[in-house]
Amino acid sequence: MNDVSPIKYELLHIDRYTNARRGRIYTKHGIIETPVFMPVGTNATVKAITGQSLEDVGSEIILGNAFHLFLRPGLDVLDSFGGLHSFMNWKKPILTDSGGFQVFSLKDRIIDEQGVSFRSPLDGSKLKITPEISMKIQQSIGSDIAMAFDECITAYADHDYVSSSIDRTFRWAKRSFESHSRKDQALFGIVQGALFEDLRQRSLEQITSVPFDGYALGGLAVGEKYQESEKILQSFGTQLPADKPRYIMGIGSPTMMVLSVENGMDMFDCVLPTRMGRHGTALTYNGRINLKASKCAYIEKPIDENCSCYTCRNHSQGYIHHLFKRDEILGKMLLSIHNLHFNISLVKDMRKAIEEDRFLQFKKQFFEVSGYQLKN
């Protein structure tokens, strides 16, 4: 592992009344303004979105999935292209997850001290991912930020299992750190512990004892309630080192984005905006809109008259409704563009609120007007 970090984090301002913070991350592929939302490009593409559309909506960094890229196109292909940036022609920063979340979602996995054994979902062949193999995969991908290999557990796993799991994650984190050798790639550690505060505290102390380039809260957004996630955020968000980026994994709902920023987090990712878009739901500052609903058929207005995205500048709700009724691909593309633009605009608005020390006011107004809920 490098003695000098390949990225630099600059803390610009902390909101006067909350723990929300405004920052900047410098990478070899560009500057990332924080807080930042990262669209998820699982298979070297953000579903239903072109690279130009990602640029147009203001994406500053995207997430690639190490597990899926390892399976297909495979490391030989990625190596021949010189990494993921060249392969997908994306010139801005990329973060890759370690593959842990996807591996642990498989039913036939076998966990031991070395790593996780499983059968390929493509052809049934036997495979194994260890911390060392995860580092090799991510180094071949060439992402700006890689993640240590961890065990992702469900929110409601029992205390004894979670206790042994976080200790294993710590051992895997140290092996990830020791085997990571790419000098132009940052490596983040991941704090686990489910909803147990004592185990979260132990995991935080373990993981932050390793000099990673940044730190993440993992194991949230896996079925728990907003108020349970918020409790973990309030207890541990600001305990992550203040001089390095703080990343909460798998967060992309408007509610959780606001709560995460309020509690000092800088980065988050999720498939939610594009997945909802592909299923006909638009995100707006006035709440969600179901474009499949029959009432949308005659609406000549755009999804949001105050939105500057390509979709709202060019098309009506009635037209998008028609596209979904006819199962046209363009409908999925247009709503995905809009939803990504919404999430990215939301973080931009939060940045401004932090800079002006009015984050609490922003939060209050957002939940009053939008209809998004603080409970679920």
Handedness of CA 296, 302, 307, 310 (dihedral sign): positive
Q: Which of these is catalytic: 97, 144, 150, 304? A: 97
The answer to whether 15 is a known catalytic residue is no
CA angle, residues 80, 7, 269, in degrees to nearest 5? 75
CA angle, residues 2, 4, 10, in degrees to nearest 5? 130
Task: State the greatest distance between any 2 C-alpha atoms of the chain, in Å, as a whole number.
Answer: 61
The answer to whether 269 is a known catalytic residue is yes
Q: Mind giving me the DSSP string for 295-325?
A: GGGG--S-S-TT--SHHHHH--HHHHHHHHH
Is there a contact between 21 and 11 (Cβ–Cβ < 8 Å)?
A: yes
Is there a contact between 297 and 271 (Cβ–Cβ < 8 Å)?
A: no
The token pair that represents 238 in the structure block = 């600001």
The token pair that represents 3 in the structure block = 């003695």
Q: What's the full length of the chain, in residues?
A: 376
Minimal CA–CA distance to 78: which of 38, 136, 125?
136
Euclidean distance between CA atoms 187 and 176, whole angstroms: 9
Q: Mind giving me the DSSP string for 92-124?
A: S-EEEE-SHHHHHT-TT-EE-SS-EEEE-TTT-
3-state secondary structure of 85: helix
Segment (H or E) for 227: helix 226-236
Segment (H or E) for 102: helix 100-104
CA distances 318 to 64, 91, 294, 299, 300, Å, are: 34, 36, 9, 5, 6
Q: Which of these is catalytic: 15, 144, 269, 304? A: 269
Name the residues annotated as catalytic: 97, 269
